[in-house]
Amino acid sequence: MDQNEAKRLAAKAALDYLPERGVIGLGTGSTARMFIEEVGALVKQGRGFLGVPTSTASRQQAEALGIPLASDDGPWSVDVCVDGADEVDEHLNLIKGGGGALTREKIVNQASKLKVIVVDSSKMSRRLGEKWAVPVEVLRFGHASTAAALRSLGEPRLRMQGKEPFVTDAGGYIYDLVCGVIENPAELERELDQIPGVVETGLFIGRTSVLLLADAGGITRLSRG
């Protein structure tokens, strides 16, 4: 099974967690994209879903599939949010934001009763930071000063798109903070949140209800606690 097949398997397994009708958080990234395709097929069959997209890309995809969508303003009471992740540890804590949508993803995650994360097995690590840097979204104003403050916690690398800094849907920049293996992700999140100019971090601590992990052996379903 290749990585895309595993992502598709995880995306399809998430359909088991959808209510008959209700409000669905639509994540961002290639695995979430496959999930949104499946939701589009269910809507065509008559299922009554209202989507809350976590990025402009997911909104555009869902619109094209005819999925009814809530406004970006909220407030939403999301029954189930389905999203991908870049790295997952054994406590189901996550690093997200490879696609740059971490801030919107965390807001929708927070508004969701059930938080379903869909990944292939390449995303698993014993401890966060083994594979990924931590994406940190910052205000553009004074971003180089914010980066200087980030330097006390790791090595911040401004994410680029070609020759220009990558700009998020929320208008921010992203610094990928290389910190190596993270001993205490919750503490790191608290420290990052205290730096003025930091909008949000890609650390998702205690924000996974169910992890759907796909590999050649099929789907493994893991729950917190």
Which C-beta is closer to ligand 5RP: that of 171 or that of 196?
171
Which C-beta is closer to ligand 5RP: that of 29 or that of 197?
29
Which C-beta is closer to ligand 5RP: that of 43 or that of 203?
203
Q: How far is the CB of 218 from ligand 5RP (least distance, A)?
A: 19
99 binds ligand 5RP (CB under 6 A): yes
Q: Among residues 107, 50, 117, 54, which one has the least CA distance to residue 82?
A: 117
Which of 28, 61, 125, 201 is close enough to bind ligand 5RP by CB under 6 A?
28
Torsion angle, alpha carbons of 24, 131, 10, 116, to 10: -30
Say if CB 83 and CB 96 are below 8 A apart: yes
87, 105, 137, 189: the catalytic one is 105
For residue 169, the tally of other CB atoms under 10 A from its CB is 18
Q: How far is the CB of 48 from ligand 5RP (least distance, A)?
A: 26
* Chain positions contacting ligand 5RP, by CB under 6 A: 27-32, 83-86, 96-102, 105
Give the active site residues. 105
